Amino acid sequence: MTDTTGRTDSVSAPDPAPVDPTGTLDEALDRLHAAGPERDGWLSNHGPMAVEALVRHGQAPAVHRWLDHYSHKLEDMPAPTTRITAENWHEALGDPRRIADWTMYFAQETAGRPWQDVLTEWWPRLLPGIAAGATHPVIRVGHAVRTLLGGGANAPRVTELAHGLGYWAARHQPLPALNPPTSLVPAPSAAAALDAVPPVADQSGGIRDRLALLTTFPLWPEQYADDPDVARARLAELVRAATHRYATHGHGDPIMLVHAATAPNAVLRTLPALPRELWPQSLAAAWAASAAVTASYSPADPVPHTAAPSASSADEIFARAAAHGNDHTIKFTDTALDVGGATALTAALRSIELISPAL
């Protein structure tokens, strides 16, 4: 069955508590906020996203051990350069050298007014650059907003939103296909649209090289979803389709293809914090991000997959992802549990199989 958001319910799906009673998440975020959002000049810091998912799904006792293991991948926050203001932010948008400046800006903004107001002001400004940082900034924002919406708007969690927004602003770079898109024939469903995405001409480089080669996407949805509820349902459909598709196509690039699902799911998680009039354009941006990742990394052919054992519960599968330890596996399994159902759980197990363990 589906609920009003368009998600598929599953009898084995967990019902995680909205607030962490152990304080582990706040401790972990405090540990992480001394670090920058990247290392080696490009690779993303997945720590805040992974620990939020671990705590949400009952794995709080494992969080600090996971962070201890992950800590060698963290670098200090870069030094700030020039203060960003309401008057000069345009010139700093998309400048990764200003990561610390942007983080300080959003820390000040969220300290001076409600975080929802800051998010609402900046969401439409940042959406065109949704694929920035290989979609990690929007995913980080989605995890932060989910926690804040759960009733935990304390200092570490608001600071985490500031870090996510700052990362997104610093890495902001619109997709070629969004400026403007050149569409193929309409696709009748999200699954069909993902299947129809043409691969980029050269898949030998990194994601920035591949995104620069994007030229066209299928038109989906067939008509602009100007009704917010329709837009939300279509977005849930996209998350479900991208999650299911990983089961048969994840081998193309097991790590990068998780973002075809986790990026639009981050947008879906953020919608309740946004004015409804922003939902349709959020769907359009989420589709562009998912299609861009699909075009950049999807393999030529699907492969058969083994279905998840019928007795497997969502809790058991997430526990396997936590024990596996890879940040992408943890985050993708978190999204698969949001989707629910046997195919999504199968896709989660496929990620555990394909991605190298970290613990």
**Over the chain, what is the mean pLDDT?**
91
Whether the pLDDT of residue 10 is over 90: the answer is: no
- So what's the pLDDT on residue 238? 98
More confident residue, 355 or 312: 355
Report pLDDT for 311. 65
Is-contact 254 351, C-beta < 8 A? yes
Confidence tier at 204 by pLDDT (50, 70, 90): confident
Nearest 5°: CA angle at 335, between 331 and 338?
145
What percent of the chain stands above pLDDT 90? 80
User: How many whole angstroms separate alpha carbon 199 and alpha carbon 208?
Assistant: 15
Q: What does the DSSP 8-state code read for residue 263?
A: H
| pLDDT (0 to 100) of residue 157 | 97
- Judge contact between 282 and 127, C-beta under 8 A: yes
Q: Give the span between the Cα atoms of 163 and 104, in whole angstroms.
A: 8
Model confidence band, residue 352 (pLDDT cutoffs 50, 70, 90): very high
125 versus 304: which is more confidently predicted? Answer: 125
Assign 312 to helix, strand or coil: coil
- pLDDT for residue 178 is more than 50: no
Residue 6: pLDDT band by 50, 70, 90 thresholds? Answer: very low
129 Cβ neighbours under 8 A, 6+ residues apart: 94, 168, 171, 172, 173, 174
**Alpha-helical segments (H) within the chain:** 24-32, 47-56, 63-70, 89-92, 99-112, 115-126, 136-149, 155-171, 190-196, 207-211, 228-249, 259-270, 279-297, 314-324, 327-339, 342-354
List the single range of 165-169, 178-182, 288-292, 322-326 with lowest mean pLDDT: 178-182
| pLDDT band (50, 70, 90) for residue 342 | very high
Distance, in Å, from the CA atom of 279 to the CA atom of 332, rounded to the nearest integer, reads: 23
pLDDT at 20 over 90: no
Give the residue from 258, 249, 226, 255 showing the smallest Cα distance to 339: 258
The strand pair at 38-39 and 43-44 is best described as antiparallel
pLDDT tens for residues 254-283? 999 999 999 999 999 999 999 999 999 999
For 56-81, what is the mean pLDDT?
96
Number of neighbours of residue 67 by Cβ within 10 angstroms: 18
User: What number is the average pLDDT over the span 293-308?
Assistant: 92
- Residue 170 or 181, more confident: 170
Domain ranges of the chain: 24-171, 176-297
Q: What's the confidence (pLDDT) of residue 309?
A: 82
Contacts of 93 (CB under 8 A, 6+ apart): 125, 169, 172
- pLDDT tens column, 110-157: 999 999 999 999 999 999 999 999 999 999 999 999 999 997 799 999
**Mean pLDDT computed over 29-40:** 96
Residues 159, 162, 168, 169, Cα dihedral to 10°: -150
Average confidence (pLDDT) over 187-208: 92
Q: Other CB atoms closer than 10 Å to residue 146's CB: what's the count?
A: 23
Say if CB 70 and CB 350 are below 8 A apart: no
State residue 11's pLDDT score. 30
**Does pLDDT of 14 surpass 80?**
no
Q: What is the pLDDT of residue 17?
A: 44
Query: Residue 354 pLDDT > 50, yes or no?
Result: yes
Contact 203, 297 (CB under 8 A): yes
Is the pLDDT reported for residue 15 higher than 70? no
Q: For residue 186, what are the β-bridge partners?
A: 219
- pLDDT above 80 (res 104): yes
C-alpha to C-alpha distance for 93 and 171, rounded to whole angstroms:
8
In Å, what is the CA distance from 177 to each residue of 44, 187, 300? 24, 17, 21
Instruction: Point out the least confidently predicted range of 62-66, 207-211, 220-224, 245-249.
Output: 220-224
CA distance 208 to 210: 5
What pLDDT is stored for residue 183 in this prediction? Answer: 58
